[in-house]
Structure 1
């Protein structure tokens, strides 16, 4: 079994977005910077995300849209762990410091319901 190398980084700073982006791409760019996984982004990740926002803007502004292009864009977003599902597949769990504590009894009850439904 191979283990991953772990390095300590001081954090990465999100560069400014492009004012010409489509509003959805601009909103997603801003959300990336506020998301927990952004603490792990390296400058290369931000550059990749910037490129994706350009692609998304082009797609959203196009007169005719290609389903294949959209699928490619969404697939690329998975690499940045943009959604909860992406993070779960990568086994990354983010926890907000201000979140309410988990009620273990209710979690156990819900787990029992899930098992019975299987």
Structure 2
């Protein structure tokens, strides 16, 4: 898969649904997968942002496709991220670029997932439905509008 160039549009935004754009699109539900393996907790010495990032992967839809080696890479990325954030000298540009590359390989942003032809579908809220507009339509018919 290409990692450069413009980010492809989401499938519902594409005009030509019949055009072959390469490999099939993988669609997965957003939110944490059901079968995430038992994972080590974040290191207590990690920077809070690194720990939050690592924990967020457990709740992400792409985690359904992670293998144990991917989780090891995620722990490594969180460790390096923590070192960058805790550094007194400030972030090193090459280290940040390398970290972004590792995070990209884990498909952590929507652009990364689109380039890999993966889309996460957000769950529809189960809350109350909105009222129908049909009473307004009948009122307009009566009022002559």
TM-score between the two structures when normalised by the length of structure 2:
0.58
Paired residue for 1:28? Answer: 53
Q: What SS does structure 1 have at the residue aligned with 2:118?
A: coil
The correspondence for 1:86, drawn from 112, 117, 128, is 112
Say which one has the larger Rg: 2
Distance 1:85 1:99 in 2: 24
**Contact 2:36–2:58 at 8 Å: present in 1 too?**
no
* Pair 1:43 & 2:68 matched: yes
The answer to whether the Cα contact below 8 Å between 1:12 and 1:43 also exists between their aligned partners in 2 is no
| Residue 37 of structure 2, aligned match among 13, 20, 31 | 13
Report SS of the residue matched to 1:94.
strand
- Which stretches in structure 1 are left out of the alignment for 5+ residues? 4-9, 101-118
Gaps of 5+ in 2: 1-22, 24-33, 127-145
Structure with higher strand content:
2
* TM-score of the superposed pair, with normalisation by structure 1: 0.71
Deviation at 1:99, TM superposition (A): 5.8
Q: Which runs of 4+ in 1 moved over 3 A?
A: none
Question: Cα offset for 1:73?
Answer: 0.2
Which structure is higher in RCO with an 8 Å CA cutoff and minimum separation 6? Answer: 2
Q: Distance in 1 between matches of 2:38 and 2:121?
A: 21
Aligned CA-pair RMSD: 1.9
